[in-house]
Structure 1
Amino acid sequence: MWVNCRRYAVQAHNIGCYKTQQRPWVRQLEATYDVIVKECGLFVDQKRPFLGATPDGLVGDDTLVEMKCPYAARDLTPLEGVRKKKKIL
C-alpha cells in the first residue's frame, strides 16, 4: 500500500540530496541526541483514511523524525544554520 500511495507524489528523496544524505543525517541526529531512529513506513489515520503520513523515522513511542533538505540553507554548515536560526540538523 505504501508504495502505491507514494508512486505519484513529489517527494524530496526523488529530487536530489535526500537520496545521498539521509543516512548521514540520521546518524548525526542519533549521535547528537543519543537516540535510536527506527525506520518506518506509511501511517494512515483510522478515522480519516484519506490522511496519511510518512515520517523519516521514529524515536521511542512518541517522537517522529522528518528530514528536510532546505534550499535556503544549502551552503551552510549545521553550526552556521543554528546561528542563523535555520534548522538544518
Structure 2
Amino acid sequence: MFDPSTETDPDFDLDIKDEVEEECLKFGPVKHIFVDKNSKGHVYLRFDSVASAANCQRAMHGRWYARRCISAIYMRPQEYEAKFGSS
C-alpha cells in the first residue's frame, strides 16, 4: 500500500493506519491493525469475524490507494498469531 523509501514523515505509518482502519471498519470490527514500516508496504488486519474479513478482502483487493493497486490476501490465523501473538 505504500513505498517506505518515498515516505518522509517518520510517523507515516500512523496516518496509513488511521486511513485503512477508517475504511475497513465499514466491514466490521477490526481487532488489530499493523502497518509494517520495514516492509514493501504491507498492512496487516485482523477482523472480529471471518465474514467481515471476507467482505473487506473482496472490496479492497484490486482497489487503488496512493497510486498503488492493493493486493488483499488472507493469512492463516496460525501465521497471524505467530507474527503478532493472539490479538
Same fold (TM over 0.5): no
Greater helix fraction, Structure 1 or Structure 2: 2
> Larger Rg: 1 or 2?
1
Larger RCO: 1 or 2 (CA < 8 Å, sep 6+): 2
Which is richer in strand?
Answer: 2
